[in-house]
Chains A and B, each alone.
Chain A
């Protein structure tokens, strides 16, 4: 029974195109920006926009990490959509960074000082930089060009980036908060599932 249900789901997914995922994924930053301009994000829309984008990015990165364990434990395979999820996450992170640069900090002297002097910003920046080569090679041509083993190793950079992203979130709050701690726990858990099994 379970097997057939899984097969049905996988069959449906196989026939579902990826372009709607890109389309729907592209919308939230535009919508949030519109809300920010029109007063829908409260009296301090800059931080609200920045935080929502960062949170969305982290959620999507976690979703990409969940694809492999999901297949392992349920048989359901979302591999076809993983590239889209990852690229949309990178797009949200880029928006998050642009809001920080141009709407939040604004001053170039302070931006550089923040990156160098504030650990949570250094860590967030590092996560972004690690994801640049991953995003740039998220295409079939790069897989062919690099060869699968090399490409896979390169894309393991995203593991480090997601951990740094979650740590960036934890460090942001002034007191020990539940929500960022849960994100970090989720990331660590999803990565732990990837550790090679110890022989008995």
Chain B
């Protein structure tokens, strides 16, 4: 395993706080070109990583627990209470148990990670997350040698999550990763964005972020993590197996049955936003492609 992933820029290097809160107006203003030019020099290594605004990231969400519309999560977000919060960690681990969020965060170094987020629906954002590597948590609980996969579950609480009062999905929402994916230094347990606590609609208080996979893999509001030796079920695959697989790596060459994955629309470009090409592994091929060497990515979509 390579060493820890080091981001070579932070959101604070790219955008001043006043700007990210108000980027739309800024971009529409006369200074947009000049600022874009100034950013281009600094952000060369990570091309287009200008974070979306706080408003964009927190008002356009897929979180079916809070409703199926993109604006439902923000509207229903305040219903959810996230304190106290604990995660049950079980399965093939040395120290299983129910860990309070405070125990999980103790001793972890919270980093800023600016990642692309590519939704399977062909839209994307750039999000400045705060969090720690999932590997640090797995090391804390001790992964047994027989474990091969990690599975995750979201909170089930219909009284606070109105979307769960209907069986759109067989609750709880479930996701899973192969152990090497889970231990990868890019894989983040995110606890906030823009240096603020995680907003409820984005998966408070703690969620997964796997930037080279479609967004639905990055499960929100996690209450259970299990180590297993069998490939775990994941909700979208359970619901529509011909549309969603287990791996769900961002791949412009493998289309979703209902739309092309070759291009995407970056949120924030307004009514005349141009489509941009989708990158293999969402632009993280250098970091992750080796994990899938020799695999038929059309079959393991």
Contacts and interface: CB of A to CB of B under 8 A. Distances in A.
Interface residues of A, number: 26
Interface residues of B, number: 31
Interface string B252-292: 00010111101101011011111100000000000000000
Contacts of B70: 42, 44
Interface stretch (B55-63, B76-84, B110-118): B55-63
Interface in A25-47: 33, 36-37, 39, 41-46
A103 B271 CA distance: 7
A198 interface: no
A175 B239 contact: yes
Interface string A153-189: 0000000000000000000011111000000000000
Give the most central of B258, B259, B268, B271: most A CB within 10 Å: B271
Q: Count chain A CB atoms within 10 A of each CB in B169, B257, B265 and give the residue with the most.
A: B265
Given A43-B268, A118-B258, A177 B275 contact: no
Nearest to A39: B24
B271 A46 contact: yes
A9 to B, nearest CB: 37
A53 interface: no
A42 B75 CA distance: 13
Nearest to B240: A174
A117 B274 CA distance: 23
Contacts of A41: 271
Per DSSP, are chain B's interface residues mostly helix, strand or loop, or mixed? loop
Nearest to B57: A43
Given A42-B59, A110-B263, A175 B169 contact: yes
A114 interface: yes
A43 B265 CA distance: 12
A128 interface: no
A42 B71 contact: yes
Contact of A106 (B59, B64, B257, B274): B274
A73 to B, nearest CB: 33
A24 interface: no
Interface in A104-146: 105-107, 110, 113-114, 117-118, 120
B268 to A, nearest CB: 6
Contact of A37 (B169, B243, B255, B271): B271
Contacts of A46: 265, 271, 273
Contacts of A49: 271
Given A42-B70, A103-B271, A174-B240, A113 B60 contact: no
Given A107-B263, A175-B239, A176-B168, A43 B274 contact: no
Given A175-B68, A175-B168, A113 B260 contact: yes
Contacts of B171: none
Contacts of A43: 55-56, 59-60, 267-268
Nearest to B260: A110
Contacts of A36: 270-271
B85 interface: no
Given A173-B68, A175-B168, A177-B68, A45 B274 contact: no
Interface of B: 24, 55-56, 59-60, 64, 68, 70-71, 123, 168-169, 239-240, 243, 255, 257-260, 262-263, 265, 267-268, 270-275
Closest 3 CB pairs of A and B: A175-B168, A36-B271, A43-B56
23 contacts: A36-B271, A41-B271, A42-B59, A42-B60, A42-B71, A43-B55, A43-B59, A44-B265, A44-B267, A45-B271, A46-B271, A46-B273, A106-B274, A106-B275, A114-B260, A117-B255, A173-B68, A175-B64, A175-B68, A175-B239, A176-B168, A177-B68, A177-B168
Interface of A: 33, 36-37, 39, 41-46, 49, 103, 105-107, 110, 113-114, 117-118, 120, 173-177
Given A43-B60, A44-B267, A107-B275, 18 more contacts: A36-B270, A43-B56, A43-B267, A44-B265, A45-B270, A46-B265, A103-B271, A105-B275, A106-B274, A107-B263, A113-B260, A117-B255, A118-B258, A174-B240, A174-B243, A175-B64, A175-B68, A175-B169
